[in-house]
Amino acid sequence: MKSTEAKPRKLIRPSKLSEDQKKEILRKILEKDPSVYTKDQELQEKIAARLGWVDVPQRMRPQVPLLREFAAQVKERFDHVVHCGMGGSSLFPLALTKIFGSQPGWPEFRVLDTTDPEEIAKIEEECDLKRTLFIIASKSGTTVETVSHYRYFWEKVGAVSDAPGEHFVALTDEGTPLHREAEERSFLKVFLNPQDVGGRYAALTFVGLLPAALMGLEIEKFLDTAEEMQATCSPDIPWEYNPAAWLSEYIAERFFLGQDKLTIMADPLLRPFTLWIEQLVAESLGKEFTGVIPIVGESPGSPTVYGPDRIFVYLGLRGRQDLYQRLFSDLREAGFPLKPYWLEDRYELGAECYRWELAIALCGVWLGLNPFDEPDVIRAKKKTREVLETFKQTGSFPVEFYLDDDVKVGFLYAGGLRVQYPRLRAAVKKFMYETPPWGYFAFLPYLPYDPEIEELFTDLRTLFRGRRQCSTILGFGPRYLHSTGQLFKGGPRSGRFIIFTRKGRREEQVIPGEGYTFWDLQFAQAYGDFQALSEDERPVIHIHLSEDYKEDLKRFYNFMEEITRLSDTEE
């Protein structure tokens, strides 16, 4: 079990420093000097190897002609492009697909960042594999989900093409297993990303620019706006006019006042970008039993449903109808901190990437954290491997669910949740009403990306927030393992987690060379994370739905509504 003792950290309130002192810290970061984070030489070397994002707009500029030329080739040969990646390799491309989408005449661009069987099946059913290009994106070249995508679709493409390598592109670091295999198997192209840029700081590298080029977007504009932001974030600019510096101080100063729930709202068109911000904040600042907790995707509510631990940031587009003006007024009147940012157009996402990367890097200094590692992610991966090994040896999973009489689903509970009888009603009531007002609820469904499912969970989030005045998070698995998973296991012990899985194994979806299906992998990831959270004594419930999982979720919502109504009456 992980130690429950937090390490001593050097905390720095930026408001207590002079402007020259703050500028010197900023200057060192921009000069890639890791000494602002630690005096430990070994740790300095590791941090220095992750500071390449600082000047990445200039470093990527010479790659624009190469990207244009390759995109033109792909446009002529393929109707579909499927980007296979997780976390830092997928969230900015996902934002681009939803905010811009492929331009007329360009291949349809999809992001595959899940092991869900239905999402895998959609690719096979809706894409002509003879005219489909797969981008296999993994910094390490070993990401289990992405490698599984590659193995599976390589075999499928091989059944319809004599040259399957012509349908694959590798996006990885130099010398990785993926790099070597891509060369051996004659992939259409290999893009080697800068090794000194970590995944969640890689939006302006090939990770974001290659998908943008293949959608027919103007990639120079992303770099132009990023460089403009870079210039306005120079140490020579007065601190109060520095966009990244002020954002970092806003977040940090409120954190020191106990307001650790950074609630990010956005114009509906920009909302997908908040998933990228969520990962950047959660993985960078959620560790050593502390951190800033990003809240994205909640339905707007009146000030009365928000706890005093909230601060707000809004991303808007100038010229569009402002749907939140009344909410802003109400929040300010109620005394909540609110910082709006307005983009002139969508291409200013390049600038926002740079602003947020630098701001969060500065927050690492203020909070005494290394914003470039993710030390707790490995525990869920280790548990997943153990569960899969047991499955390979025995043909079954090492888990038995209790059967609930009310909702008719299987369930488990752990992490300090102790009830007299194994009933879901008792576990949920304890789970819900022992959560402190400064806590948060995380709903973690290992289910398909379906608007109806997302709406059901949005309703659940609103119900929980309204009853407990707590923040809520929604993270589809296994995506969240690569974004907010670090925060859940390494951040403050204020979270409560509900994991959802469902029956639905597809025998035909066996991953070549592994002996298990995508459903098996997905279930192992969910149960592995349940074990990792429970071993750390973090309250967690695992609910196992039937094949008719949408109806199960509707019954679960009604069940929760009844519990909260009765509990309110009792109080």
The predicted-structure confidence for 381-397, as pLDDT tens digits, reads as follows 999 999 999 999 999 99
The pLDDT assigned to 570 comes to 53
Mean pLDDT of 144-173: 98
What is the number of helices (H) and of strands (E) in the chain? 20, 15
Residues 397 and 389: their CA atoms lie apart, in Å, by 9
- Nearest CA to 491 out of 212, 211, 285, 213 is that of 285
- Convert the pLDDT of each residue in 475-522 to its tens digit: 999 999 999 999 999 999 999 999 999 999 999 999 999 999 999 999
Cβ–Cβ under 8 Å, residues 440 and 470: yes
* Of 380, 438, 420, 86, the residue nearest 255 (C-alpha): 438
- Closest to 114 measured CA to CA, from 141, 92, 69, 83: 83
Check residue 432 and give its pLDDT: 85
How many CB atoms are located within 10 Å of the residue 239 CB?
Answer: 17
Spatial separation of the C-alpha atoms in residues 542 and 531, rounded to whole Å: 10
What is the C-alpha to C-alpha distance for residues 171 and 506, in angstroms, rounded to an integer? 29
Question: pLDDT tens-digit profile of 53-74?
Answer: 999 999 999 999 999 999 999 9
Give the residue, 13 or 421, on which the prediction is more confident: 13
Q: What are 474's two structure tokens?
A: 């929604």
Architecture of domain 14-27+40-48+230-367: 3-Layer(aba) Sandwich (3.40)
Alpha-helical regions (H) of 397-450? 424-433
Least confident of 171-185, 318-332, 481-495: 318-332
Write down how long the chain is. 571
User: What residues contact 512, with CB distance under 8 A and at least 6 apart?
Assistant: 151, 152, 154, 155
Question: Average pLDDT of the chain?
Answer: 94
14-27+40-48+230-367 and 56-217, same CATH topology: yes
Q: Is the pLDDT of residue 334 over 70?
A: yes
pLDDT at residue 417 greater than cutoff 80: no
| Residue ranges in 412-515 assigned as alpha helix (H) | 424-433, 451-468, 485-490
- Helices 19-30 and 349-367: crossing angle in degrees, nearest 10, is 120
Amino acid at 408: K
> What share of the chain has pLDDT > 90, as a percent?
89
Give the pLDDT of residue 564.
82
DSSP-based helix, strand, coil % in the chain, nearest 5: 50, 15, 35
In angstroms, the CA 214 to CA 384 distance is 34
Topology adopted by domain 377-570: Rossmann fold (3.40.50)
Identify the pLDDT of residue 1.
45
The two tokens of residue 438 are: 């400064």
What is the DSSP track for 94-158? HHHHHHT-PPTTSPEEEEE----HHHHHHHHHHS-GGGEEEEEE-SSS--HHHHHHHHHHHHHHH
Q: How is the chain split into domains, by residue range?
A: 14-27+40-48+230-367, 56-217, 377-570
Cis, bond preceding 478 (omega within 30 deg of 0): yes
Asked whether residue 324 carries a pLDDT value surpassing 90, the answer given is no
Query: pLDDT band at 3, cuts 50/70/90?
Result: very low
- Nearest CA-CA partner of 182 in 218, 146, 228, 224: 146
Residues 306, 330: contact at Cβ < 8 Å? no
Q: pLDDT category, 567, cuts 50, 70, 90?
A: low
The string of DSSP letters for 78-93 reads: -SEEEEE--GGGTHHH
pLDDT for 431 equals: 86
Other CB atoms within 10 Å distance of the CB of residue 224: 17
* Total Cβ atoms within 10 A of residue 258: 10
Cβ(252)–Cβ(14) below 8 Å: yes
Per-residue pLDDT at 430:
85
Q: Which DSSP category does 434 fall into? A: T
Alpha-carbon distance of 178 to 483, in angstroms, equals 22
DSSP secondary structure string, 533-545? HHHTT--EEEEEE
CATH (one of 1.25.40.340, 3.40.50.150, 1.10.1240.10, 3.40.50.10490) for 56-217? 3.40.50.10490
Hunting for tokens 């200039």 — which residue is that?
58
Model confidence, pTM: 0.96
Burial class of 28 by CB neighbour count within 10 A (0 to 12, 13 to 18, 19+): middle
Mean pLDDT, range 327-354, rounded to an integer: 96
Q: What is the pLDDT of residue 569?
A: 52
Q: Average of pLDDT values for 78-88?
A: 98
- Using one digit for the tens of pLDDT, what is the confidence trace for 215-234? 999 999 999 999 999 999 99
Per residue in 289-313, pLDDT (tens digit) is 999 999 999 999 999 999 999 999 9
Farthest CA pair distance, the chain = 69
Contact 543, 556 (CB under 8 A): yes
Q: Across-strand partners of 451?
A: none
| Distance from C-alpha of 480 to C-alpha of 23, rounded to nearest angstrom | 35
